[in-house]
Amino acid sequence: MKVKVPKQERTSYVLTLLIMIVCCVIVLLLPVCGSVPLTGWLQSPGHPRGYDPDSSLTWKECAPTGHKITLTLIHLDLEESFECADDSLKVFVDNELHFTLCGRKSMKELQSSINPFLHSSSGGCLSVSFLADYSNPERHTGFRGFYAIQDVDECEDPDNECTQLCNNYIGGYRCFCRPGYILDPDKHTCQVSCNEDRTGSTEGVLMSPGRPEPYPENSLCSYTLAVEEGLQFELTFTGVFDVEMKENGQCIDSLTIKPLSGDVKTFCGRDLPPLVLTRSQHVEIIFRTDHKGANRGFSLSYKVKEMNCVGPVTPTSSLIPQHSNSEYRTGSRVKVRCDKGHVLQSKDSAEVEYESTCQKNGKWSPVIPCEPVDCGNPELPELVELSEKDPPTTYLKQIRFKCKSQYYQLDKTGNFTCNADGNWVSESGQQLTEDLPKCEPVCGMNSEVSSGGRVFGGKRAELGQIPWQILHKLNPRGGASLISDYWALTAAHVVDGYENENMNWLGGIIDARDKNAVIMETEKIIIHPNYMRVGKGNDPNNFDNDIALIKMSARVTLGPNIRPVCLPNKKDELVAEGTISGFGRMEEKRISRYLLHGLVEIYSLDECDQGGLPVTHNMFCAGGDHIDSCQGDSGGPLFSPVLGHGSPDKPYRLAGIVSWGPAGCGNKSFKGYYTKVQNYLDWIKETMEKN
Catalytic annotation on 67? no
Amino acid letter for position 551: K
DSSP annotation string for 303-351: EEEE--EES-SSSSEEEES--TT-EE-TT-EEEEEEPTTEEESSSSTT-
Catalytic annotation on 157? no
Q: What SS3 class is residue 112?
A: helix
Of the candidates 105, 287, 117, the one whose C-alpha atom is nearest the C-alpha of residue 191 is: 287
Q: What SS3 class is residue 687?
A: helix
Amino acid letter for position 472: H
637-652 as b/e, with b when 16 or more CB fall inside 10 Å? bbbbbbbeebeeeebb
What is the SS3 assignment for 8-38? HHHHHHHHHHHHHHHHHHHHHHCCCCCCCCC
Taking the C-alpha atoms of residue 433 and residue 185, their distance in angstroms, rounded to an integer, is 71
Q: CB of 389 within 8 A of CB of 411?
A: no
Taking the C-alpha atoms of residue 375 and residue 349, their distance in angstroms, rounded to an integer, is 13
Taking the C-alpha atoms of residue 478 and residue 632, their distance in angstroms, rounded to an integer, is 5
Of the candidates 602, 611, 608, 665, the one whose C-alpha atom is nearest the C-alpha of residue 633 is: 665
Q: CB of 467 within 8 A of CB of 587?
A: no
- Bridge partners, 133 (sequence order): none
Q: CB of 241 within 8 A of CB of 268?
A: no
Q: What SS3 class is residue 649?
A: coil
Q: CB of 544 within 8 A of CB of 530?
A: yes
Question: Which residue in the list 47, 119, 493, 597 is annotated as catalytic?
Answer: 493
Catalytic annotation on 546? yes
Question: Which residue in the list 87, 151, 544, 546 is annotated as catalytic?
Answer: 546
Segment holding 689, helix H or strand E: helix 681-690
Of the candidates 28, 35, 57, 27, the one whose C-alpha atom is nearest the C-alpha of residue 149 is: 27
Amino acid letter for position 404: K
Question: Which residue in the list 581, 634, 640, 659 is annotated as catalytic?
Answer: 634
Taking the C-alpha atoms of residue 555 and residue 440, their distance in angstroms, rounded to an integer, is 12
Cα separation values, 257 from 231, 261, 306, Å? 17, 11, 19
Residues annotated as part of the active site: 493, 546, 634
